Amino acid sequence: MNSTSPVDMFALTIGGITRDVPLVRLASNRRLPLVEFLGDTQLCAAAALELQKLLPENAQVLFTCETSSIPLVHDLAQISKLPYEVARKRRRPYMNDPLIQEVASMTLGVGETLWLDKNRSENLKGKQVVIVLDVVASGGTIQALERLILRSGGKVCARVAAFSQGKPKLELKVAQELPIFDGVG
């Protein structure tokens, strides 16, 4: 860690790309590396290449939620040649008969709601769907995405994430596990 900085940092490496990312403190006094894919095209591309190795052969559609996983799933879709869909975190005026799913997020400490427009959900119907996330901690977001897939008539064939923090209580393929730091630093 870099002790000369006012914020403790963690050297994160994936696919040969290294970034110094800040450690953020949770209410529990634990600290986690903050991975930010937005605006970092090199990190996204490197992570997408690692995730491509984890995709099952029967995958037909990638599925994520906004916001930080969008550039990651976009890069993964380009290299895998698979389409993708995105659940939104708020209702949009254009949505027609959306599916609504609550998220129990232990990491954030606040509940969220995911929205999937009925027209977009049709793209999951009858398909083998891979859930793609940037970072998974408790698994609450994955469980909510799974429910949206099932309600859309799709089947979850895999869950993949660039990073995990802690031990999610579900089957998950991860490119890299991140540490959790206890106490003050």
Residue type, 130: V
SS percent in the chain: helix, strand, coil, step 5: 20, 35, 45
Tell me phi and psi for residue 184, to 5 degrees. Answer: -85, 155
Asked if the structure places residue 170 within a domain, the reply is yes
Q: What distance in Å separates the CA atoms of residue 59 and residue 61, rounded to the nearest whole number?
A: 6
pTM, whole model, 2 decimals? 0.89
Distance in angstroms (rounded) separating the CA atoms of residues 79 and 124: 20
Q: Work out how many domains the chain is built from and give that number.
A: 1
Does residue 168 lie in a domain region? yes
> What CATH number is attached to the domain comprising 72?
3.40.50.2020
> Mean pLDDT of successive 10-residue segments in the chain (185 residues)?
61 94 82 91 96 97 94 97 94 85 68 89 97 89 94 97 85 91 69
Whether 17 maps to a domain, the answer reads: no
Domain that holds residue 67: 37-177
